[in-house]
Structures are given as structure tokens and as C-alpha cells.
Chain A
């Protein structure tokens, strides 16, 4: 990537970076630097991941034995509701776009910042406000509707602070919309000279497709939650059947957002994969245009398949059939991606480091998650699987396994760029075994229990499911431990890690062509891009 200095003015003392350019808490909380905003998101998202994770460990501990002995049924309901709501709205939706996305988008486009830096900060503040409401819900008695807030349960009989939880989710939606809007404009208008559409890294394409979903789908959940708040307070009678409303209408509204939003979570994870797999196998990505186009295809098709959550909710047989067919269709672009990554690995010089291992872990986990999605998309089998642990296992494989493994892969991959330090890769590789085994041990048995008919969302279960549940709980403890180990060695590296060179992996995309960590305004000179992000030959030629 060639950069040229236009006027050669200096940039402060050597060694200054976005991290130490300004100091003090306020310089962080009110910064408009996309890199700092990304880091703040990362810290908050991970903190809420810890909260949601502890709730999950509570759930798993209850399920060690068939009897409901650790928590009462009422408390258990609140545990899984808050776990789900926190994980979806506070963790998974912003997990990659708002953290790595914020940090990387302008860097990968060779520009100074996103199109609207102040709006970016506003999104973060709105996120904090929404988070406040969810925390408020948590500490003032919780809520027990399930993260799906189905009516009429949520509007009439629910226990706890439903309105506060709804308000929190409503507010968080706007944070997501504004981030998406900002990123779309950034991709269209802020690219450096030479960064053509087909020279954008695939991570950018993924974030772009994600942003489109955020802008188009999130307003619908916002108005849905808004109406539900009034259903709860005034009984407007739109969703509550006792008042003349239609609970299935609520489900349509809810899933019109909540299906697309699973792609808000996972498309950025795909984007991370498209970077880590090519860089750490030292090989040009296979099928660049196919991967880019399939991101857009997934975003588009993702909007018309929400009905697969409602096969047994009383929608018509015809809509069931159509939604089933369309759901199968979304597997095609998804499979195109998986195949392209595997083809990229083929004959690459694979580096067995942490980012690569987590990427391979992602491929395994996501393949299982995606394929079991097809079982659920089949009408006849879904009648059996619906509302069992099979569904729970499916969506944890794709959402939690997929997104989390990608996020961890991405955090390792870009850690040197973000912090300017190298982590201890040896511990990373060893710990990967624990994470991978722990993860699969947690969720694979749930497929078995679910297929044998164990329903979700109960704090007791029949004794015949005990073995599967105990394996799962054991796995969750191991997985939790592995995550703490990651946290420990990453934090350790900030203080004791070796200083990172600007391009430790020999990558060709733009973010690696500036210092680690980058200077406040990203690049020391105006960027002019002359070759694609995976053109390692051109990159090497340009270096020498």
C-alpha cells in the first residue's frame, strides 16, 4: 500500500499514538476518535458479556440435577431472560461491528475517521443509556418474559420490570441504527483514493451488509417495543388477545427484526473470518467477489425468512411452506462463504497461531450451527424440535460459538494493532484446546437432549436427560475458565507484552500499513491505495 506525504509536517513526538495522544477519563468518554470509541465499546461489551456469562453459569448450575434445587422456578425464569436479553441486545449485536468495526473501518478504508464522528460518540452514549435501563431491570427484580417478550405473557402476567427492560431494548436500537447509518455513509463517501469497491477488505463488505440490516430492521423492533410498552401500560389491545389484539402479529413484528438481527451478529463474524483466514494462511482469498456478494445476498434474503420462527404459531400452512423454502435459500450464500474459506486454506501456508486456531474453530462450530438450522427449517422436523434444547443448541452454535470464536480470533488478530503489544501465543494455542473442547462439550449434548424432547426454559427436567445436562454444565465451566485465561493473558500483554511491529502478520490491507498502535489520525500521510487487500505479491513488491 503506498502512502505519500503531501507536506511532510511532523506529528508530535515519536511514540505518540491514539492511546496516549490525550489523557484523562474525559478524553476517553467524550472522544470522537473512532479507535477510542471502538475500544470503549469493546470494554463495555466484554463487561456485559461477563454479566450475561455469570447468569448463564447460574442456569447451567441449576440444570446439574433434574430437580429444581438451586433456584426457584421464578428466579430461574429471570435468569434465562436476563441472560438472553443482555447477550442479544448488549453483547452480540454490538459485539463486532461496534468494537472491531469501529476501530477498523476507517483504517481499512484509509481514511481519518467515520463520516460522522460525533454521531458515533452519540451512539455510544445511547448504548450506555440503554444498558443503564437493562442493569436497572436486573437490580430491581429482573424480568421473566424470555428475551422474546411474547404477548400476552409480557403484557399481562409477567413478573418484574417489563417496562424498564423494553425501554432499554428500545433505546439500544437507536444506538445500533446510528452506528449502521454512520458506517454506510463512511463506506460510500470516505474511501481513500484507490480504494475501489472491489479493493475493500471483506471485513468492510461484511460490516456494510450488517449496517444495511441495522438501518432497515432495527426501527421495526423499536416501534414494536414502543407499542408493547403501551400495551403493558394502557392495554392498547393491538397484541393482547384478551383485548382484541393479535399475539401472532407481535411475533411477526418481533421476528421481522430478530431474524435479520442474527445476521447483524454473524455477518461481521464472517467478515473477521475473511481476514484472518487469508492472512494466516498467506494466501489470496478464494472467491473475493463471491464472498462480498454473498454478504449482501444474506442481508437481503435474511429479511424474508422470519416466519421460520413461527411454524407452530398458527401462521398458515402456505406461509409456513414458503418461509421454509426461503430459509433453505439463505443457506446457499452461507455455504458459499464456508467453501471459499476452506478453498483459501487449501495449499495455503497455514500458521498454527491463535487467530488461525480460533478461525478453524469457527468453521467447525458454524458448520454445525448452520446445518442444524436446516433441520429446523424443515417443517416436519421443526414441529418436533421447536422449543426444545435442539433450538437452544442451534442458536448457541451460530450466535455464541460463531460470533464469539470470530470475535476472539479477531481480537487476537488485531490485538497488536489495537494495543501495540504482542500476546503470548503459546498460552493462546494451549488454551484454545480448552475453549474448543469446553464449547462443544457445553452445546453438543444439548442437541441430543433436545432431539429426545427436552423442552427449553424449565428449571426441572426428566431424569433421563441428566447425563446430557451434566456434560453440558461441565463444558460450560471449562469454557468459562478458558475465557478467563484469555482475558488474563491479553491483559498481561498490555503491560508486559513485546512491542508489536506495525505489520506482524505480513498482511496487505491498509490498517497494517500504519503504526501499531496507530497515530491519532490513523495514517501519517495521505493514503493512496494501489493494490487489493489480499494481494500479497504486490504488497511484498511494494515493500522491497
Chain B
């Protein structure tokens, strides 16, 4: 700790400040900046999927129109609402953390987790229907109706669909994990006006997951 005012001795700074930071301002700014960079990285990760989507749709516009009809617009719409609502509860949780109201934080996290599970459950029903009728990626594709009527490559649409929603779903699952972590920390009464960066960062992540879905939904379900 160099010889900076007593860092080694643990009195000069609050328990939630890591030793290598000079003050909470530096720590919070670093954490937030790091999270934004992480989100940028996420965007580029998804950008590859969007690019694949764009090229394949460009090659097979007819397929896209026909195959998209097989997706359940109602379930997709409900899921959009569910996820948007969970973003709201997350934002309220961040607000509560800033005010140091840990009980509220915990409650809002429970609500957000409920939303995330809701999303996954609906997705589960959608997926199982697709699996059941054979609307699957690549060589697993077995939906005869489209095989004969559609243009070239209906299986590619479902490849893209499962890749995009699958990677997104994975992000939802990871989101549940980190929101649980916030929940436990809130139950231990950890957050306060100086120490809420973790909640804020998980919030940012969750909004990104939400944002990506907002793009996926029209691109996949509402093709015209």
C-alpha cells in the first residue's frame, strides 16, 4: 500500500474500499468505467450475430418472411413486456441502493429475478414447441411444411433464431446469477450512498440484456 495514509492498517478507509484505490471516488469511477467497457465488448459480441442475421436475410429474404411466421408473436410480445418490467424493477433497486434502503433493494431484486424466470419459462414453452415440430437449426431441422414450400434455407433462419435467442438466454441466466448475488448482499445490509456501484453495474448489465431483446424481438418475430 505504499505509505499512503495507513492503508495497511485498515482505519483510513471504509471496509468496502479496496486497498489499491486511493478513495471511493476513484473506486466507483473505475468500476463504472470498467462496466461500460464490458458492455461495449458485449455489443460487439452480439454484433457478429446481427451481422450474420443481416447477411442471411439478404441472401434469403423470402425464407425470412415465411419462416418468421412460425414464431409465436404473442409469446414474444409478452416476453418483451416481462423483460421491460424487470428492467424497471432493477432501476428501482438501484435507486434504493443509493438511498441505502437495503430491504427495498432486496425486494426489487426478487421482483427482477421473478421477471427473469418468467422470461425463461415463456422461452422454454416456445423452444419446446419448436423442438416438438422440428423447427430446429441446421441438420436437425425437420419441419416438412417449410421444407417444401419455403425458398432455399428455412433451417438457416432457425439456426440464426436459436443462436441469437440462445446466446441472449444465456445472458439472462448469468443475469439471474449476479442479481442473486446483489440480493444476498442487500440482505446483509451492505449497500449505501457511497457503496452501490455493484448494484448499478448489475443494473447496467441487465438493461443491456433487455436492450438486446428489444432488437431481437422485431428482427426475428415481426419480419415483414
Interface residues of A (CB under 8 A from B): 5-9, 11, 111-113, 115-117, 119, 177, 181-182, 184-185, 188-190, 215-220, 222-224, 226-227, 230-231, 234-238, 243-246, 249, 253, 521-527
Contact = CB atoms under 8 A, between A and B. Distances in A.
5 contacts: A7-B5, A185-B33, A189-B33, A215-B40, A219-B42
Contacts of A119: 34
B4 A6 contact: yes
B4 A526 contact: yes
Contacts of A5: 3
A527 B52 CA distance: 50
Nearest to B4: A526
- The 10 A-B pairs at the shortest CB distance, nearest first, are namely A223-B48, A236-B159, A244-B153, A219-B45, A235-B138, A219-B44, A234-B138, A235-B139, A113-B20, A189-B30
Contact of A227 (B8, B29, B30, B48): B48
B40 A522 contact: no
Contacts of B153: 237, 243-244
A522 B152 CA distance: 63
Q: For chain B, which range describes its interface: under 10, 10 to 19, 20 to 34, or 35 or more residues?
A: 35 or more
Given A181-B37, A231-B138, 11 more contacts: A7-B5, A7-B6, A181-B34, A185-B34, A224-B48, A227-B52, A230-B159, A230-B163, A238-B56, A243-B138, A244-B152
B156 A243 contact: yes
A526 B5 CA distance: 9
Nearest to B28: A189
A236 B41 CA distance: 24
Contacts of A237: 137-138, 153, 155-156, 159
Contact of B8 (A9, A113, A235): A9
Given A113-B20, A236-B156, A523-B2, A253 B48 contact: yes
Contact of B41 (A117, A177, A527): A177
Nearest to B38: A181
Contacts of B8: 9
A27 B110 CA distance: 39
Contacts of B18: 117
Contacts of A116: 30, 34
A166 to B, nearest CB: 14
B124 interface: no
B48 A238 contact: no
Most buried by A among B45, B47, B153: B45
Interface of B: 1-6, 8, 18-20, 26, 29-30, 33-34, 37-38, 40-42, 44-49, 51-52, 55-56, 59-60, 137-140, 152-153, 155-156, 159-160, 163, 167
Nearest to B136: A234
B48 A219 contact: yes
Contacts of A222: 45, 48
Nearest to B59: A246
B215 to A, nearest CB: 15
A7 B6 CA distance: 8
A524 B30 contact: no
Nearest to A4: B3
Interface centre among A8, A525, A526, A527 (most CB of B within 10 A): A526
A524 B1 CA distance: 9
Contacts of B45: 219-220, 222-223
A243 B60 CA distance: 13
Contact of B30 (A112, A185, A235, A249): A185
A220 B48 contact: yes
Contacts of B55: 238, 246, 249
Nearest to B153: A244
Given A227-B48, A253-B51, A234 B3 contact: no
Contacts of B46: 223
A524 to B, nearest CB: 7
A215 B37 contact: yes
